[in-house]
Structure formats: structure tokens, C-alpha cells
Structure 1
Amino acid sequence: MRILVVGAGATGGYFGARLHEAGRDVTFLVRPRRAELLRERGLRISGLGQETVVTPNLVTAPDLAGHYDIVLLSVKATTLAQAIEDTAPAVGPRTAVVPFLNGMAHLDTLTKAYGSDVVLGGVVRVITTIGENGEILQLAPLADMTIGEPAGGVSDRVRRIEGVLSEAGFDFAVSPDIQTAMWHKWVFISTLGALNTLVRGSVGEAVDAGAEHLGPQIATEAAGIAEAAGHPMPAQALANVAAFVSRPGSTDTASLYRDLVAGQPTEAEQILGDLTARARAFGVSTPLLDVATASLRVHEQRVARGAV
């Protein structure tokens, strides 16, 4: 199967490189500037005492032609509309588009663009960032991918895709309830992002400042929304999130927060704005998430004015 990875950033680049190493037929759809860098230096993954360099197959949007079997869509929600436009030539009636975006709203957007027979649900977890020279820095061993049918169940096409994406250097799973898996990741990423935003620092810095209970309180709010939406988190799963955001010495931050401190646009609306809007619709009280959302909206207004 031909695989198109849309974006060779911290997440897409990591999983695409692992698939490439495993001998899969992988092409990266990238911007011209990123293509130039990758042609010059290769796609590099560093960290955890290892370094991997692959020579990727690259294509830019004007040169994209022919349908692919699998499109792994790993972009920020703020660039989703452009990604849909760019990938249109690659998507045919037998293509499976697997998005790895935060939140849930992108499923409706992609289904409207490509149809329900094309779009799958997906969740990836990996702690990576882009280094100063464009390399991918892996900050922790965690790396896994889960896919599934948005309507539930396990289809033949998902099983076929499993044969291509599994055993490729990261943990892979098929979920019969991918929307619940997506909701549970949303609880995690919104909790971490809101905590970082509220304290303007990492998990460990929040704990050092005496706010060790803040992360678990945010997690409880987010989990309450998931439960109201019909996707309750098991007690142990919620406890794991609470423990993650209250660890002394932890340097963990969400990409949402890293974009904030860099003065860049963030996924504020996709991660927190949409979540708190759903909370209001369900009648769930979320005071901490509301404050974090307002704080990020102030940042977005400043970015729009060029005042950051």
C-alpha cells in the first residue's frame, strides 16, 4: 500500500520515518522550505541516546498526483483547511484518510470534504518536538498509534491497514471504539495544556509553586465533559492523567503551551474552546478550563494584531 504522510513535523515525521525504516512505501507531503531542508540533511530523529537518519520520499502540493491507499494526516488544526486542499489529488474512493489531530471537530470537517467511507479515526501518542536544525527530538520512549472506524466496530479495511502500519517500530492497535479513545486523549491534552497555560510553566514548575492539586482538578473537569458526551473515563485512566500532571520535577508541557510561549498561533479553539463549548451545552461546570480558554484567546487576539 502507498502511504502519504501529510506533514513531516514532530509527529508525522516521527511515525513516517519509522514506517519508512520498516520498509513501507512512504511519501511525505511537505512545504517547499521543509522539503529543501530534508533533502539537504535527511529526516533526523534524535534523543534517548539514539539518532536515526532516513532519506525520505518527498512531494510538494503542486506535484502531488495519483491516489494513495493511506493518508496519514498529521497537521495542526489551524492548517487543516489548507491540508484538505493540498491532499485532494491524493484521495480517491478507496483511500483511507487517518487524521491525528487533537479534539473531535476535525472528523466532521474531513467527512464533509471526503465522505464517511474515506475517513477513519486515529490517536497517536509521542513526545517529540522540532529542534533548532529541523531535526525531530524524541523526549520520551512513548510512541503508539491507534486507529478505528468512527462509527465503531472493526472493518475489513481497518484490518488491511493494520497489516501495513503494525510492526513498524511503534506500538499499534485497532480500536472498536475509536471515538472514545479520541475523547480520552482530548481529556489528557486539554488538561496538560490548560495547566501549562494557567501557571505559565511545566508540570514540575506547577508542583514547585504549590499547585500540585491544580492538574488533577482540571482533569476532573475535562473528564466530566467526556462522560456527559457518552465517553466516560475509567477510574484508573483518570487517575493516570491526574498523576501525570502532578509529578514533581516533570518538565512536560503541551505543544499548545509551547506555541503560546513562542508567540505563535495555537490550537486554543480546537483543544479548549470546542471543549468548553460542549461543556456549556451539556451543563457541565468547568471554571478552570474556562479561565485557560480565555487566557489563550487573549493571546490569539494579540497574535492577530501583531502585538506578540
Structure 2
Amino acid sequence: MNVLVQGAGALGGYFGGRMLEAGLDVSFFLREKRAAQLRKEGLKINSPEGNFETADVTIYTSVEEVKNIDLVILAVKGYHLDQVIPQVTAIVRQTGAFVLPLLNGVEQLDRLQEAVGSEKVLGGFASIMATLNEQGHVVHTSGNSAVKFGALHDGQVEICEQLEEVNRLVNTNLLREEDIKKHMWKKYIFITSFSGITSAMQLPAGFVVDNDASFTTARRVVYEMKLLAEMEGVAITDQEVEHMADKLKRFPKEATSSMHQDMRKGLPLEVEHLHGGAFRLAEKHGVTIPVIETLYGILKPYENGKIDGQV
């Protein structure tokens, strides 16, 4: 199986690197700036799961260069989706590849299915705490990592079986799920709460759970997201929701969300893709989500990164 990873930030760099480490045929499609950095520094991963580095990385920066690809792993931020859809469309058209998007949220499925066809877009997401350092090396800070994926169309069973086989080779987890859409929603519910509260407070998890008012806010986000999931035909039990809320309490006190990390660095935020997406679903179904709407309003000014004049 020939895999093209589109994007080599912490997410794409980590999982693409783990597949390279296992000897799989993996290449990267990147913007020029990141491509130049990767050519200079190589791909380096620092991780509790084991370090890895290689200078032997195949990189493409133009669609015309891409040939013989079976699977595109889309590992970009939500705010880059509009930019990459034309590239993904062209790559699928000339290679016939399937697409596995690892973006948070759910809106990307409809967008990509409209662009390349519903039979080409798998469901999936990633779970990892990682960032890039100044040299562009991947720094994985948690003790585990996983990509969960699954078929959304009968024609995707074979490619899912092939990817499932890869799991035994790689130093991470590539896990196939039968009800992948429900798993995507569970991730969306949790990350909307966790990223929203840590970014709005500009504090890590320990401060959220140590203050009843802060934890109550995070918990209410989870229940508002549960309502949206049900409106979209995805059943989430109260027990599952409580488990998501209590997950905050099990994090190390210094743990925080990738959105909060981006905010501290003055980088763009996925607020429109996550909280904005939830707001659009609420409008679609005629329901109110006041806590998410409040977090959306607080974070929206930081959407494009550091605000001029702010420390």
C-alpha cells in the first residue's frame, strides 16, 4: 500500500514517521516552507513510544508529481481545509486513491465527499498529544497515540483491511472501528470541551478540575455536544458523556489542548472548525448551545493567531 501523508505537522509527521519506521511506502505532500525545513532537518520524532529519525523522506510540493498512491492521509488543521480540497481532488482524480481525513470535527466529511465522491472518503481521527519544536521536530508528550478509522461506504472495506494489517507493523496504533462515525463524534465532543475551556481560561487541565465553576462549564459543553450528535443521528449515552467529562480529571495537571498550545504560540486556532461547526449544526437543527456559543465568541478573535498589540 502506497501512502501519501498530506501535511507534516505534529500529527502527520508522527504517524507518517511511524509508518516510515516500519518500512512502509510513505511520502509527504507539503507546502514549500515545511518541505524545505524537512529536507534540511530530516524527520525526527521524540516520543515516550520510542525516538525515530530519518533523512530519507520523499516529499512532493505539486500535485503533478504525485503518482501511484492508494491512500491519502489528510493531516492538516481545520482552517487549511479550504486550501487543500482542490489538491486532494486532483490527487484522487489522477491516482484513484482513498482519503482518510484526520481532522477534528465532522464537517470535513461532507466537504470532502462532495469534492471527491462519498465512496472515496473514509472516517477517521487521531488521538495524540504532540507539537513541533523550533526545528520542526515532532515532540510527542503523552504515553500513547492512535489513529482510528473505518469504512463509510461498502467500497472501502478492502482499503480498511489493508490499513488494519499495517497495525501489527507500526510503533503506534492504527485501529479499525465498525461505527467510526460515533467514535468521531465522541472525539469531537471531548475536544470541543477540552480545547474550548483550556484556551478560554488560558490554563491547563489542573486548573479546570480544581475549580467547580470551570469544570461545570466544560461538562455543559459535553452535554450540548451530545444534543447535536443526537440531532445528527448518532446516539451517545449519558454514561458515555459522563465518562468524557470525567476524562478531564484523569489528565496530568499540566496537560493541555493543542488549541491552547497554539494560542500560547500565537498561532491560528481551529475555533471555526470546532466551535463554529457546532454552532452551525445548532442553527441547522434549531437548538441553542449557549456555553459553546460563549466560548466561540471568546476565542473567535484569536482565530488567525496573535492579535496585534497583545502580549
Q: Do they superpose with TM above 0.5?
A: yes
CA distance in 1, matches of 2:165, 2:87: 27
SS at match of 1:48: coil
Contact 2:99–2:121 under 8 Å retained in 1 = yes
AA aligned to 1:296 is L
Deviation of the 1:178 alpha carbon: 1.6
Residue in 2 that maps onto 1:266: 269
Higher mean C-alpha displacement, 196-205 vs 1-10: 196-205
Shift of 1:53: 0.8
TM-score with structure 1 length normalisation? 0.89
Which amino acid in 2 is paired with 1:183?
Answer: W
Where do 1:227-306 residues align within 5 Å?
227-247=230-250, 250-300=253-303
- Equivalent pairs, count: 307
Task: Note if contact 1:152-1:176 (Cα within 8 Å) is conserved in structure 2.
Answer: no
Partner of 1:199: 201
Task: Supply the distance in 2 between the matched residues of 1:249 and 1:273 (Cα, whole angstroms).
Answer: 28
Q: Which residue is 2:105 aligned to?
A: 103
- Superposed displacement of residue 51, structure 1: 2.5
Structure-2 separation of matches of 1:212 and 1:30: 39
The Cα offsets for residues 129-179 of structure 1, whole Å up to 9 and x where unpaired, read as 111221111111221112122247972332233234553122222222221
Indicate conservation of the 8 Å contact 1:204/1:247, yes or no. Answer: no
Do the aligned partners of residues 62 and 160 (structure 1) sit closer, same or farther apart at CA in structure 2, a change above 3 Å counting?
A: closer
Moved more, 83-92 or 111-120: 83-92
1:283–1:152 distance in 2 versus 1, CA, 3 Å:
farther
- RMSD over equivalenced CA pairs, Å: 2.5
Contact 1:146 1:172 in 2 (8 A): yes
Structure 2 contact 100–123 (Cα < 8 Å) conserved: yes
Q: Of 111, 115, 118, which residue of structure 1 is paired with 2:117?
A: 115
Over 3 Å counting, the alpha-carbon distance change for 1:110 and 1:301 in structure 2 is closer
Asked if residue 91 in structure 1 is aligned to residue 82 in structure 2, the reply is no
Task: Verify the 8 A CA contact 1:216 1:245 in the aligned structure 2.
Answer: no
1:39-96 CA deviation, whole Å, 9 max, x = no partner? 2222111133842212322222266232411100000121122222334443246311
Aligned equivalents of 1:248 and 1:146: distance in 2? 21
Identify if the C-alpha distance between structure 1 residues 241 and 61 changes in structure 2 by more than 3 Å, giving closer, same or farther.
Answer: same
C-alpha distance in 2, partners of 1:115/1:153? Answer: 12
Percent identity at matched positions? 29
TM-score (norm 2): 0.88
For residues 40-119 of structure 1, the aligned pairs below 5 Å read: 40-48=40-48, 50-55=50-55, 56-61=57-62, 64-92=65-93, 94-119=96-121
Inter-CA distance 154–4: structure 2 relative to 1 (3 Å threshold): closer
- Report the equivalent of 1:29: 29
1:244–1:67: structure 2 CA closer, same or farther, 3 Å change rule? same
Aligned counterpart, 2:135? 133
CA contact (8 A) 2:182 2:234 kept: yes
- Aligned-pair distance for 1:124? 1.3
- C-alpha change, 1:49 and 1:3, in structure 2 (3 Å) is closer
1:99–1:120 contact (8 Å) kept in structure 2: yes
Distance in 1 between the 2:304 and 2:239 partners? 38
SS in 2 for 1:168: coil
In the aligned structure 2, how far is the partner of 1:249 from the partner of 1:125? 16
Q: Is the 8 A contact 2:2 2:70 kept in 1?
A: yes
Residue equivalent to 1:13: 13
Counterparts of 2:230 and 2:121, CA distance in 1: 25
Instruction: Specify whether residues 198 and 81 from structure 1 end up closer, same or farther in structure 2 by C-alpha distance, changes over 3 A only.
Output: closer
Judge conservation of contact 2:10–2:130 (CA < 8 Å) in 1. Answer: yes
Structure 1 unaligned regions, length at least 5:
none
Letter in 2 for 1:237: E
User: Where does residue 158 of structure 1 map in the other structure?
Assistant: 160
Answer yes or no: is the 8 Å Cα contact 1:195–1:218 preserved in 2.
Answer: no
Structure showing the higher helix proportion among its residues:
2
Point out where structure 2 has 5 or more consecutive residues left out of the alignment. Answer: none
